[in-house]
């Protein structure tokens, strides 16, 4: 069994000659003019859009993209107005690429232009992590979808949507559940749970992301207070967003590499569908928490897991950071890094807080493959001291309490 996965390939156009840049800019400007005219005319069908865009000096790939896109603006997106900075959209027939290892930039794109014999080739700086998918696109192992070309003041970016098949994740006989906790101090913490025992955790620091978010907030606020030009504000915003995107990509890749070190892994993530509505810690903390796209990082982990054929489960996030993973009692998180269990009969006294949370997340998956919802009124709720959302075997507690900290995982 296989399923179809959609992904966006990213590339930057190598610096074009003055002549090519003029033609690219003219193409983008003409497209935006046609887009606005069709939208303002309230063209709601492909035929109506066609009547408006036909006179424009655009390649057929752009006109066909407009005929598909414009009707969706009101029907699907309920748009009342549109931005002036729309990217140039092209249908998949514009996805004509070539490769040669003898060129400085191996991949090149045939850029469509209006008229016969006017197309030109331009080199691409591809995302090296996506190189295999670019080759799949050339070899017809991946199918191209829409293309989007955008100018960012000094550079041109090309995004290509591709579809490709991956194997359906199999149901392992003896799965290793691996929970991931996404947070502020530790950007992401992973912990494998085998027979209810935490194994070989991973921690990725969130200091770089926090620094970028704080710097972005301060810089943009100062630019706005000084009435800086819009392009200047947008340029700085794009800079920080690109840096954060790079962090997300690298951390999600390391998370999948970590998962791959275990046999029969199953990834377990918190269901953060309503995280923004549930969090209310005041203006300052809300800004810090909401500025970090928790779901964005989880989404990239899930995307990469799908490509690797690894199953992903979601569980309720309630009390994962306040519950002892070993006994299920509510404890204290006296600092960002330290969790203290208050159950005198538990063999855990202190534990690295993020690892404890990740272990709780991993333990909330039913061994029969169904995530168990957290229900506070049930008898197995963490509120009354037993293991909520876990199906664990009975374990005798140690007669002597022992301290468990991050040092226990230094190997």
**255 pLDDT tier (thresholds 50, 70, 90):** very high
Q: Could you report the per-residue pLDDT of 237-249, keeping only the tens digit for each? A: 778 778 888 888 8
HEC string for the chain: CEEEEEEEEEEEECCCCHHHHHHHHHHHHHHHHHHHHHHHCCCCCHHHHHHHHCCCCCCHHHHHHHHHHHHHHHHCCCCCCCCCCCCEEECHHHCCEEECCCCCCCEEEEECCCCCCCCEEEEEEECHHHHHHHHHHHCCCCEEEEEEEEEECCEEEEEEEEEEEEECCCCCCCCEEEEEEECCCEEEEEEEEECCEEEEEEEEECHHHHHHHHHHHHHHHHHHHCCCCHHHHHHHHHHHHHHHHHHHHHHHHHHHHHHCCCCCEEEEEEECCCHHHHCCCCHHHHHHHHHCCHHHHHHHHHHHHHHHCCEEEEEECCCCCCECCCCCCECEEEECCEEECCCCCCCECEEEHHHHHHHHHHHCECCCCCECCCCCCCCCCHHHCCCCCCCCCCCCCCCCCECCCHHHHCC
Q: Which domains does the chain have, with CATH numbers?
A: 2-167 (no CATH), 176-363 (3.30.420)
Q: Could you report the per-residue pLDDT of 22-39, keeping only the tens digit for each? A: 999 999 999 999 999 999
* pLDDT surpasses 70 at 40: yes
Q: Could you report the per-residue pLDDT of 298-348, keeping only the tens digit for each? A: 888 888 888 888 888 888 777 777 788 888 778 777 666 778 887 877 877
State percent of the chain over pLDDT 70: 80
State percent of the chain over pLDDT 90: 30
* pLDDT surpasses 90 at 352: no
Q: Which pTM value belongs to this model?
A: 0.57
pLDDT of residue 377: 31
Considering the chain, what is the average pLDDT of its residues?
Answer: 78
* pLDDT surpasses 60 at 374: no
């Amino acid at each position: 069994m296989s399923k179809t996965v959609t992904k966006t390939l990213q590339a930057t156009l190598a610096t074009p000659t003055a002549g090519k840049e003029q033609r690219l800019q003219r193409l983008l400007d003409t497209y935006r003019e046609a887009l606005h005219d069709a939208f303002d005319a309230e063209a709601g069908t492909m035929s109506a859009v066609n009547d408006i865009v036909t006179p424009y000096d655009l390649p057929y790939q752009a006109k066909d993209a407009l005929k598909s896109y414009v009707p969706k603006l009101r029907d699907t997106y309920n748009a009342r107005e549109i931005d002036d900075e729309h990217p140039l959209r092209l249908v998949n027939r514009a996805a004509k690429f070539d490769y040669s290892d003898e060129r400085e930039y191996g991949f090149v794109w045939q850029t469509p232009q209006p008229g016969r014999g006017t197309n030109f080739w331009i080199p691409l700086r591809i995302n090296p992590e996506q190189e295999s998918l670019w080759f799949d696109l050339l070899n017809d192992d991946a199918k191209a979808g829409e293309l989007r070309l955008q100018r960012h003041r000094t550079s041109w970016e090309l995004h290509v949507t591709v579809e490709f098949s991956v194997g359906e994740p199999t149901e392992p006989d003896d799965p290793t559940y691996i929970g991931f906790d996404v947070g502020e101090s530790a950007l992401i913490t992973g912990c494998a749970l085998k027979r209810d025992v935490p194994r070989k955790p991973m921690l990725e620091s969130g200091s770089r992301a926090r620094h970028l978010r704080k710097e972005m907030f301060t810089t943009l606020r100062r630019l706005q207070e000084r009435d800086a030009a819009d392009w200047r504000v947008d340029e700085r915003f794009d800079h920080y967003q690109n840096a954060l995107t790079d962090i997300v990509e690298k951390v999600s890749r390391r998370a999948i590499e970590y998962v791959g070190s275990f046999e029969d892994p199953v990834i377990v993530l918190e269901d953060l569908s309503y995280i923004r509505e549930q969090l209310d810690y005041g203006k300052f903390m809300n800004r810090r928490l909401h500025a970090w796209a928790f779901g964005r990082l989880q989404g990239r982990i899930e995307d990469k897991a799908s490509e690797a054929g690894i199953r992903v489960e979601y569980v309720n996030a309630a009390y994962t950071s306040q519950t002892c993973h070993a006994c299920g009692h509510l404890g204290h998180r006296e600092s960002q890094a330290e969790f203290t269990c208050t159950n005198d009969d538990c063999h855990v006294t202190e534990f690295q807080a993020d690892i404890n949370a990740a272990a709780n997340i991993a333990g909330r998956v039913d061994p029969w493959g169904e995530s168990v919802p957290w229900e506070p009124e049930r008898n197995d709720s963490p509120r009354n001291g037993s293991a909520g959302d876990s199906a664990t075997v009975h374990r005798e507690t140690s007669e002597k309490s022992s301290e468990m900290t991050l040092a226990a995982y230094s190997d």
